């Protein structure tokens, strides 16, 4: 019972830490124009009506809409950036506000409507955005309706393109595969007390770095056995060994193979952004991650002594049975 209380307390603390970190972000300024980086770019979901557009502006705390460059994320953009056809404009509600930041700031995501983005987390957005080519940007995400949130990433691609970033479709497709992979794993593992989604985010970043390091050292992309080794090490280093299923690990393998065949694998800027990302994620959520690690250690200690006790009771039980037979 005591152990259960500890677990519940840790979960409550984790929820508090996440809430604090979300609210710690400053709003992207729209009352004045940043003369260094210019106006931020707001990309609306095409499914919004006029009232919902106004509500979205409020969610982003827009002070002066004239200080914002505005775009619309449509079904055609899915064709442009992902090669996906048949996406209806009417299904797109999530929106993004993107502002370039000073060099070294890293990629940061703030979900302004956390109750309405039901699947994708801030760290998942940031990790995938780095894969796609984002660097040193603040990305705010909002939706006036409950949505899973995947279309916001396409909005990020459009915002980057509007600001002169050369958006490589191989990388955007890899980024979307990455987001779907980690999101599917996190969703499937959400009832598992031993799983921590932030640890998976860190493992994913480590996998990307490991693939880049392999190519830099060997002059070629990693073969299948090396990919498996990189993933196994990343999962072990982030306390995810023996937690993910074989199918989930295979989905990481599939993503890794896609990723290492994009230009991201050779980009020093991506490496820099991933280093900053890993440090930011760990520092922001280290209490949660370390709490989970301590929980796992406690489980191992408890199991050890439980096994000793079982051995002792079995020994004396067998001894008693032996005496009765005599």
- CB 168, CB 133: distance < 8 Å: yes
Closest CA to 126 of 147, 143, 105: 105
Task: Give me the pLDDT at residue 26, please.
Answer: 66
Residue 10 pLDDT: 34
Closest CA to 259 of 132, 126, 123: 132
Share of the chain above pLDDT 90, in %: 66
Question: What's the CA gap between 188 and 272, in Å, rounded?
Answer: 31
Q: What region, left, alpha or beta, does residue 47 occupy, with left being phi > 0 and alpha being psi -120 to 50 degrees?
A: alpha
pLDDT tens digits for 254-283? 999 999 999 999 999 998 898 888 888 878
Residue-wise pLDDT tens digits, 128-156: 999 999 999 999 999 999 999 989 999 99
User: Which one, of 10, 2, 1, 9, lies nearest residue 293 by Cα?
Assistant: 10
**pLDDT tier at 23 (50, 70, 90 boundaries)?**
very low
Structure-token pair, residue 285: 């959520």
Q: With H, G, I as helix, E, B as strand and everything else as coil, classify residue 241.
A: coil
The strand order across the sheet containing 137-142 reads 69-73, 41-45, 95-100, 137-142, 108-111
Contact 290, 9 (CB under 8 A): no
Provide the sign of the torsion angle of the four alpha carbons 75, 156, 122, 31, taken in this order: negative
The pTM (predicted TM-score) of the whole model is 0.76
pLDDT tens for 28-66 read: 989 888 877 789 999 999 999 999 999 999 999 999 999
Angle at which helices 151-162 and 122-132 cross, to 10°: 40
129 and 101 Cβ atoms separated by less than 8 Å: no
Joined tokens for residue 161: 């393109």
Backbone phi and psi for residue 308, each to the nearest 5 degrees, phi listed first: -60, -45
Would the pLDDT of 8 be above 60?
no
Q: Are 15 and 197 in contact (CB under 8 A)?
A: no
């Amino acid at each position: 019972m005591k152990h259960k209380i500890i677990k519940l307390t840790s979960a409550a603390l984790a929820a508090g830490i996440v809430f604090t970190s979300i609210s710690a972000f400053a709003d992207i300024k729209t009352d004045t124009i940043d003369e260094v980086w210019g106006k931020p770019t707001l990309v609306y979901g095409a499914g919004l009506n006029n009232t919902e557009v106004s509500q979205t502006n409020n969610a982003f705390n827009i002070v002066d809409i004239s200080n914002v460059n505005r775009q619309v994320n449509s079904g055609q953009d899915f064709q442009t950036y992902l090669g996906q056809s048949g996406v209806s404009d009417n299904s797109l509600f999530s929106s993004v506000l993107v502002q370039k930041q000073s060099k070294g700031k890293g990629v940061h995501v703030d979900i302004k409507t956390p109750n309405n983005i039901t699947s994708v987390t801030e760290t998942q957005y940031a990790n995938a955005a780095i894969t796609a080519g984002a660097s040193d940007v603040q990305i705010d995400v909002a939706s006036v309706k409950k949505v899973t949130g995947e279309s916001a990433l396409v909005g990020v691609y459009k915002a980057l393109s509007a600001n002169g970033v050369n958006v490589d479709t191989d990388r955007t497709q890899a980024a979307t595969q990455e987001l779907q992979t980690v999101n599917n794993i996190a969703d499937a593992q959400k009832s598992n007390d031993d799983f921590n989604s932030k640890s998976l985010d860190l493992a994913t970043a480590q996998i990307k770095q490991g693939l880049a390091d392999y190519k830099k050292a060997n002059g070629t992309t990693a073969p299948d056995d090396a990919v498996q080794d990189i993933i196994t090490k990343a999962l072990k280093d982030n306390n995810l060994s023996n937690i993910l299923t074989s199918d989930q690990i295979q989905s990481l393998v599939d993503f890794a193979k896609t990723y290492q065949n994009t230009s991201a694998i050779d980009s020093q800027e991506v490496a820099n952004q991933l280093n900053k990302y890993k440090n930011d994620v760990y520092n922001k959520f280290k209490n949660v991650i370390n709490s989970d690690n301590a929980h796992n250690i406690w489980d191992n200690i408890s199991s050890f002594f439980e096994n000793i006790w079982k051995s002792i009771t079995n020994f004396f039980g067998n001894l008693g049975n032996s005496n009765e037979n005599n």
